[in-house]
Structure formats: structure tokens, C-alpha cells
Structure 1
């Protein structure tokens, strides 16, 4: 049965129109104020006709095809983000390890007896997990 303007809209229909409006804001067709006004009207709408008037002055967007329009350059971002994340994780590990070794060294120098090198227990397991994640971690990009 074809949808007529008088037919009642579902929550899913309203969510799809809201998603389309968000996409139009991202594309620069709507300002944030216009988006907020229309979004309030979306959730107050009861029929397909009321929803259609909210997007009548905007081009159609196929929300199911959006990921296919991503350019090749934008697909590379997750890989760079993963590399940045790995660098940050290794930097945090190195910083925490260095601080622990400095504390241990201060304790050793100021005490008259040998102190067990406890920083190994801080940096060892953390570093092993980080190394395994770096070597065997899968790239998060999708084909």
C-alpha cells in the first residue's frame, strides 16, 4: 500500500527524517537554528504529509547510500587515527615507566639496602600487552 500524506507516521519515519535533516546540516543546506526548529516539528508530526513539508525544500538524501559516497582519502583517517592512538599509548607507557624508575632510583639511592626493582611489574605487563596490540592489532578500516 502506498503511503499517502494523511497516513500516520511511525517513530522510525520521524527518526529517518531527523537523520536526513542532520545530513542537510552537515552539507550546509540548513543552519543550526533552522535544524533545531525543524527537528522539534519532526517529533511533533503525526502524518507523512507533515514530515514531507519539513523536507520539501531540500533535495532527497538516500541514507542507506551515505557510506558509499566516502572518498578514498577519508577512508584513510581510521588508519591515521589508529597510528596516533598507538603513539599516544606508547608515550603514556614510556612516561609512566620513566616516572616509576625515577622514584625507584631515588629510593635506592636514599636507602642503605637494595630495593627490588618493582617498576618491572608496572612496565612489563603493560608493555607486553601494548606490544602485542601493536604487532597483531588489526587495521580498523573496512573495504
Structure 2
């Protein structure tokens, strides 16, 4: 029998070879995808993910993915994605088309802070440092980003 490392690998099948971090992560990603698709419940996912991260050899991965079908792109799937529920969060793309990305809420926050500053200044009888001006910094960034997006769309 050949006891050199090459000889040992030649006689050892893939099942006996040590698994690496990238191998464990790949199996974990596939399990996460199955959980997101509703193919695994949370308890089953938890059990399998623990086994995946604890795997020392490729044989330890056996049974973790065997009963899960391969992923099919949504465009080729027979199942249509469900429409978003009323009141569900809006995606970033839809938000960019639908309303001003963050400018209006930031201005509202600035106005609220200004009212708080005004009430506290009136109550004390002296004008404090105008700290709400700091809230305008994100507003300025949001306006500049919006103007930059508008210029990109024109070109």
C-alpha cells in the first residue's frame, strides 16, 4: 500500500476528503435558499445548518441537500411570485420612481427639530445654539443625490 499523500488521496474517495470553509458556506447558502423558498421549516433549517457548519468531510454533507430540488429561475418557474401585500414595504426601485428618496421625511424631521428648538428657547427665555441645522446635512446629501440621479437620467 502506498502511504504517500498522493497515494492516500488516490485511494480515498471524495466523501473522505476534508471539507473547507467555502464548501460549508456553499451548502449553507443552498439551505438558506431552500428556507426562503419555503421548502424547509425553521427547525429543519436550523438542524441542517448546524450539521453543515460542523461538517469535517464531504460525507458529512450527505443528506443535507438530497431532498431539495435545484433552483429554477423565477422566469422559468411554473409558480408566479405573489403580488406584494397592501401596506408592504416598497422596494428601492419602486421608491425611486414613486417618491423623492428620503428628502421629504428628512425635511419633516428638520421641521420637527426646529419646533422643539423653538419651544425650548422660548421656555428658557434665550435663544440657544441652533442645533437643528445639523439635521440639514442629510437633507443636503439627499437633494444632491437626487440631482445627480436626474442628471444621469437626462444623459
Residue pairs, 1:17-56, within 5 angstroms? 17-56=27-66
Q: Would the aligned equivalents of 2:34 and 2:40 in 1 still touch at CA under 8 Å?
A: yes
What root-mean-square deviation, in Å, do the aligned CA atoms of Structure 1 and Structure 2 show? Answer: 3.4
Give the number of the structure whose residues are more often helix, by fraction: 1
Measured in 1, the distance between the counterparts of 2:54 and 2:133 equals: 57
Give the alignment partner of residue 121 of structure 2, picking from 64, 85, 104: 104
In 2, the alpha carbon distance for the partners of 1:45 and 1:106 equals 66
User: Which whole-Å CA distance do the structure 1 matches of 2:112 and 2:140 have between them?
Assistant: 19
Equivalence for 1:132 = 140
Q: Find the aligned partners of 1:131 and 1:37 in 2 and give their Cα distance.
A: 46
Counting matched residue pairs gives: 120
Unaligned runs of 5+ in 1: 109-114
TM-score under structure 1 normalisation?
0.65
TM-score normalised according to structure 2 size: 0.61
Quote the Cα distance in structure 1 between the aligned partners of 2:61 and 2:44. 15
Among 85, 89, 92, the residue aligned to 1:78: 92
Select the structure with the greater relative contact order (CA < 8 A; seq sep ≥ 6).
1
1:61, distance to aligned residue in structure 2 (A): 4.3
**1:122–1:8 distance in 2 versus 1, CA, 3 Å:** same
Return 5+ residue gaps in structure 2 as ranges.
Answer: 1-12, 75-80, 85-89, 150-155
Counting only pairs closer than 5 Å after superposition, residues 111-122 of structure 1 correspond to structure 2 as 115=126, 117-118=127-128, 121-122=130-131
